[in-house]
């Protein structure tokens, strides 16, 4: 990845179509993004499903915890009245190796299944390690990925401290830190990059902030409106 700033669609193209749906991802792809960011949870039947919240209530006609329902139960629900909850594999098949995929481990115990699927797509489907970033706020999930496969690029999410993110990132040989844009300055972006980390920032939606982040030379911007990038 060269030092142009990567354009990454947040949960697809969340500003335009319901987040974390295949339709939203298609929209982001149409905008010419470099990558897509999604969230995953482990459902009751053991699959990784692409969904942000821990509960179904905000985005679907269902209620309760995502992790308590099986895939077949989740597939019966409608996101925003019209879309389906996809599996991680359905997203990978949609992207078809042409885009970077940032998988955020949102729910608990998502690391081992995510590693298994990533390895499967690398070994059998022609994907490469550099086509993936696995990110999380949950340090133990990232540590679990690191124990299972040292080659998967890792991203440390933070909304509190760039320095803390870097300190933890060093312990798992992370590829990147993913700070909220409000944490960033020219100096701390430069400091992180000097230490060897890429800086992917989120969720940057208005044009003024996008331009400011670009002026800091961040490596990637995650946006609900990736057409603005």
Gap between the terminal Cα atoms of the chain: 17
Angle (deg, nearest 10), helices 139-148 and 111-124 = 40
Q: Which of 43, 7, 3, 2 is nearest to 220 (CA)?
A: 7
Q: CB of 7 within 8 A of CB of 227?
A: no
Please identify which of the residues 3, 10, 26, 140 carries the catalytic annotation: 10
Q: How far apart are CA 99 and CA 105, in angstroms?
A: 19
Q: How far apart are CA 165 and CA 174, in angstroms?
A: 10
Catalytic site includes residue 26: no
Catalytic site includes residue 52: yes
Q: Per-residue DSSP letters for 27-50?
A: HHHHTT-SEEEEEEEE-TTS-EEE
Q: Which of 129, 136, 132, 126 is nearest to 100 (CA)?
A: 132
Q: How far apart are CA 46 and CA 68, in angstroms?
A: 10
Strand, coil or helix: 92: helix
Please identify which of the residues 52, 139, 140, 178 carries the catalytic annotation: 52
Provide the Cα torsion 195, 200, 205, 208; round to 10°.
Answer: 30
Q: CB of 78 within 8 A of CB of 109?
A: no
Residues with active-site annotation: 10, 52
């Amino acid at each position: 990845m060269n030092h142009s700033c990567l354009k990454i669609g947040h949960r697809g193209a969340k500003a335009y179509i319901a987040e974390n749906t295949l339709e939203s991802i298609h929209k982001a792809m149409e905008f010419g993004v470099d990558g897509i960011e999604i969230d995953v949870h482990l459902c009751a039947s053991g699959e990784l499903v692409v969904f942000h919240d821990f509960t179904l209530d905000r985005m679907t006609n269902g209620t309760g915890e995502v992790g308590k329902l099986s895939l077949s139960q989740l597939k019966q629900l409608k996101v925003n009245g019209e879309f389906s909850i996809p599996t991680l594999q359905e997203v990978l098949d949609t992207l078809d190796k042409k885009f970077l995929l940032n998988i955020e481990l949102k729910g608990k115990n998502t690391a081992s299944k995510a590693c298994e699927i990533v390895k499967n797509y690398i070994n059998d489907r022609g994907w490469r390690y550099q086509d993936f970033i696995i990110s999380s706020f949950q340090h133990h999930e990232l540590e679990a990925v690191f124990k299972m496969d040292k080659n998967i690029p890792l991203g440390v999410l933070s909304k509190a401290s760039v320095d803390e993110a870097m300190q933890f990132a060093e312990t798992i040989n992370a590829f990147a830190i993913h700070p909220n844009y409000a944490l960033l300055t020219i100096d701390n972006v430069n400091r992180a990059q000097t230490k060897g980390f890429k800086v992917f920032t989120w969720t940057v939606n208005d044009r003024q902030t996008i331009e400011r982040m670009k002026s800091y030379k961040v490596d990637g911007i995650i946006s609900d409106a990736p057409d603005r990038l």
